[in-house]
Structures are given as C-alpha cells and as structure tokens.
Amino acid sequence: MNDHPSTDPSRRDFLALVGRGALWVTAGVTIVALLRYLSFTEPTPPQVFMLDEPSAYPLDTTTPVADGRAFIKHDERGLYAINATCTHLGCLVKQAQTGFECPCHGSQFTTTGAVTNGPATSPLKYAALSIDAAGKGPTAPRVILDLSQTVEASFRLAV
C-alpha cells in the first residue's frame, strides 16, 4: 500500500483546467477579432489617374475615364474633366442623351454638369487636369486626372 498522497491531478481538475484554457483562448480570439472589426477603414480608391495622350480625346467628345469616375470632354478651348460623382448622395452618374443621369435617385444634369432635375441641387464638380511632365521626349505627354482637386467650370487644359 502507498502511504503517500497522490500528487497527480484528478481527472476533474484536468478537465477544469482544459475548459478554463479554452475559455481564455476563445476570449482572446474574440477580442482580437472585435478590435480588427472596430479599427476597419474602407480603402480609399485612387484619386489621381494617368490617362492617354491628349490626342486620344477628339474635339466635341465625351469620354468616360478612371473606371467611370470622370468624363473627359474636349471643346474648342481644350480638355476638361467632369467628376462623375453625383452631388446628391455620391452615386456615379452615367451618360444620357441630354447629358448625365444618376441611376440611384434620378438626378439629371446637362452636358456641362448643371442640374436639370433633382433631387440633386448642386452641379457636378470639375476635376483638375494636367500634362505629365515626364512625357516629354520619345514618349508622348499624357493627361493626368486628379479627382481630389476641384477646379472652376471655366478651366481648360490647352492641347
């Protein structure tokens, strides 16, 4: 017979230890997941786009660019860009026979971006255009569209 008390944990003690460990691991994973969820920020889409050379936009045309986020227009004074973001709730407008139309809530705009039918109350914004300075030399200069900068409706990029 053995007179020494057993130092081995009982089955009940072992299962309680495993259960507590599982709870702590679950709590830790849950906290990490919650912190990742709460710290999530929507990725910001790019705002600056390198487009084609100016000759790619013929006179009196409207060309959708930057995945439909803007329209490059060319008139007798030069190139200009209309931001395709509707001023009502931020949907992307589409080209229509009379100008632009918002597919979300039905706002309509003229070919120059002026509101003709609400719910939008502000005209479409004009975005900045410039020429790529590095395009000089053997490669043709390219148009740069910057949707983060708003310009006056009278702005034209001479081509």
| Residue 24 counted as domain residue | yes
**CA 54, 58, 64, 70: dihedral to nearest 10 degrees?**
50
Mean pLDDT (whole number) for 102-131: 89
- 6, pLDDT greater than 70: no
**Are both 66 and 136 inside the same structural domain?**
yes
- Residue range 109-129: mean pLDDT, rounded: 89
* Residues 45-82 pLDDT 10s: 778 888 888 888 889 888 888 888 899 999 899 999 99
- 101 falls within a domain: yes
Has residue 156 been placed in a domain? no
What is the arithmetic mean of pLDDT over 146-156? 89
Structure tokens at 39: 């710290």
pLDDT of residue 62: 86
55 & 35 share domain: no
Number of domains, the chain:
2
Residues 87, 22 within the same domain: no
pLDDT at 134: 65
Confirm if 104 and 91 have CB atoms less than 8 A apart: yes
Whether the model clears a pTM of 0.75, i.e. scores above it, the answer is no
Phi, psi of 116 (to 5 degrees): -115, -20
What local confidence, expressed as pLDDT, does residue 7 receive?
65
- Amino acid found at 52: D
Claim to verify: residue 71 and residue 100 sit in the same structural domain: yes
Q: Can you give the residue range of the structural domain that contains 13? A: 9-40
Tell me, yes or no, whether 134 and 110 share the same domain. Answer: yes
Q: Is the pLDDT of residue 136 over 70?
A: no
- 142, 132 Cβ separation under 8 angstroms: yes
